[in-house]
Structure 1
Amino acid sequence: MMNRKLLSAIWLVSLLTSPSLAQQVSFENVPSELQPKYDAQKAEITALVGQIQDKKLAGEVRAAHLAELQQRFPYVVLPTAKSVALDESEPLQLEATKILIGSVVMMNHSAGGDHAMHEQFTSTMDILKQVVASGTAAARSFAAETGASLGDSGMLSEIQKKNDEGVISDADAVGYFTLADPGVAASYVEKYLSSENVAAQEQAVSYLGPLPDYQATIRQDFFLDANKPAAVQAAAARVLARTDEKFTTYSDKVIMRDGTPTQVVDAIIRGSIENTTNPVNAEQVSKYKTILDDYKKANPGVNMQQLNTIQNSIEILR
C-alpha cells in the first residue's frame, strides 16, 4: 500500500499544478511589507484553498479551512470566499457569507474615492444578493441584515422580492428594512402597515411614526383606531408621544376612551418620558399621574396592577 505521506505529497503537487486552482489564489491585495511572508507560504495557502474547494471533504471541514485561511492569510481569502458563498454545504456557505460581510463593512468605511475598492465592494455585494436570493436561511439572514443596514438599494429590492415569494416573512423583511435610513427604506416599510402580521405592523409603525409624511397616518389609522391590535396601538402611542409635538392635543381621546388597553396607556407615558423636547420635571410627572387618574375614571373596572411598572417609574421620577 502506498505510504500516506507520499499520497499527501502527490495530492499537494496536483493542487499546485492545477490551473483552475491557481487562478483562484490571488496575491495582488497583499501589502508589500507582507509579501515575503505570503510568498514563503504560497504552497500552504494554495493547499488550504484546495481543501476548501474539495467537495469530497465534509462541509464542516471545508468551513474550518476557510476560517483558517481568513485568520492566517486574510489578504487572499476574499476570492475563495466568493467562490464558495453559494456552495451546497450550509456550514461552508455560512462561513463564506460572514467573511464577505466583514469585507463589505470594512470597504464601506474606507472606500472613499478608491475606484478599485468600489468595484470590489460592488462585486462582493452582488454575491451577497445572490445569497439572499438562493442561499440557506442562516446565510440569507446575515447577508440581508448587512446589506440592508448599508442601505444598498439592490439588496432592499432583493429582500422585497423574497418576501413577495414567501421566502422571507413579513416580520423578518420589515426588520431588515428598518435597519436602513428612512431616505431609502421608508417606501419599503410602508407596505407593512397593512400586514396581517402584528409584529411587522408594530415595527413599521415605530419606524415611520417620527417621519412627517407618515405621522398623520400613524395617528389616525393606528393610534386613534380602537380596532387595531393592542400591540400596534401601543407602538403608535409610544412613537407619537415621543416625536409628535401635537400629541397632547389628541391623546386624551384614547386615554379617556372606555376599553383602551393598559399597554397603550403604558406606552403613552413611556413615550412622553422619552420625549427629549419635554424634560422630565415636577410638572411633567404630575401630568403622567393625571393620565393614570383619567384612565382609571374612564375605565373603572380596569386592573390597574397591570400598570404597576409604569406607576413605579413615575414614583422614581418624583
Structure 2
Amino acid sequence: MARAVEIRQFGGAEQMQLVDVAVLAPGPGEVRIRQHAIGVNFIDVYQRTGLYPNTLPLRLGMEAAGEVLAVGAGVTHLAVGDRVAYAGFPPGSYCDERSMPAQGVCRLPDGIGYETGAAMMLKGLTAQYLLKSCKPVEGLEPGDHVLLHAAAGGVGLIACQWAKALGLRVIATAGSDDKCALALANGASHAINYRREDFAQRVREITAGEGVKVVYDSVGKDTWEGSLDCLRPLGLMVSFGNASGPVPEFAPALLAAKGSLYVTRQTLFVHTRTRERVQRMADDLFAVVQSGAVKIHIDQRFALADVQQAHRSLEARKTTGSSILLP
C-alpha cells in the first residue's frame, strides 16, 4: 500500500485528500517507482479545478523523482535501482510509490539530486521547448529581446537563465519588486512590476518602439491583450498557461490589425509524445543544468500531507521558483 492524493470532485484545495492505495506490479512498458520528491505545478491546479477535465476520482501530480523498484516487460532504457525523474501522463505523482508508463521516465545523471530532479522536469522541459521549438517566423538571434511573463516562477527562472545563455535579452514581468529582483538576478535584462507599471508601454520604451519578436505567456487572461501590444510585426505570441484564467475568444482580424501576428497555444506533452523526443529534450536540460548555466531554485518544500497548503500558496502567487512535496 502507498499514500496518494486524490480528488473525488473538482473544486478548491480542500478537495485533495490523502488516501491509501494499492500499488500494482508494473505491466508491459511500465516501471514501479519509489518517489523521493514530487513537483507541484499549475497544471495540477487546472486538473483539480476541472479546467483541464479528467475522469473522477483523480489522483493528482505530473512530476516527480525517485528510484526504480521494478521494471515491466519491454522496458529497456531503465533498470531496477536507477535514479529517475519524469514529467508526464497519467496524473498521479502525488504519492509515495506508483507504477506508471516508462515512456517519459529518464535516468537522472550523477550530480543531480532527487529534489532538483522533481523540481525541474516539467518546468525545465517546458523552458526547453519554448526556447528551442517556439520561435518567431523571423527567428531568434543573440541580442534579440523576448518578453517572459511570470518570470520569478518555476518555468520563469529556468527560462530567464537559459535565454541569457543563448544570448537573448529577457524582458521579465512579475507581481512584486522582490520577484522582479529575483528575475534580474537570474539573467533577465529588464524587469517590470506589472502591478505598478503598464508592461506594454514599458516594453515599447525598452525596445525603442520596436517591440519584441516573441512573448512567452503562462498567465493567460490578464496579460493577453497587453502581450499582443508588445509584439513587433510578424511577432509570435506563445500562450502556454492560464494562471489568471483562460484567454478570451478573439477575432483573427485582430492579429492582422496589430501587425500580422502569429499566435500559438502550446502544451509540453505534445513535445514529449515519443520516447526519443523526451530523452532528447531531457538530455538538453540535464546538460544546461550540469554546466551551471541554469540553476534550479527550490524555494518551497511541503510535506505530502500538506498538499492543500502547497496549492493555496501557488494559486495566491506567494511562491517563487519551484515547489516540491516530500513523501
**Greater per-residue strand proportion:** 2
**Greater per-residue helix proportion:** 1
Same fold (TM over 0.5): no
- The higher relative CO (CA closer than 8 Å, separation ≥ 6) is in 2
